[in-house]
Amino acid sequence: MRILWIAIFATTNLLTICALKYINSLGIKIPDQLAVVGFDETDAFDLFYAPVTYIKQPMTDLGRKSVRILLDAIEKNEAVQSAVFETELVVRKSSVIS
């Protein structure tokens, strides 16, 4: 028997919630028929019958660095920089096959 595993990865909370509503309207069972992973944490993910797996970002650090980059660009006339942050995969029921 061949097992095919299909998943959806949504890149924002709003897209994840919209995807969940649509998937639910189609009668697709999560995680039995489809796995769902969202990006960033929201309390809404706890309200779904299969709490949603998500990628957790360090929001405080991201905010601080964003402000620092913006201020440096304004005050020092520096080019806009980029930054890389560690994230964490929080595995919950929406992506775990029993």
What is the 8-class DSSP label of residue 80?
A: P
All structural domains of the chain = 7-57+86-95 (3.40.50.2300)
Helices and strands counted in the chain (H then E): 3, 4
Assign 96 a pLDDT band (cuts: 50, 70, 90): confident
pTM: 0.78
Q: What is the pLDDT of residue 98?
A: 66
Peptide bond into 31 cis (omega under 30): yes
Give per-residue pLDDT as tens, 28-43.
999 989 999 998 888 8
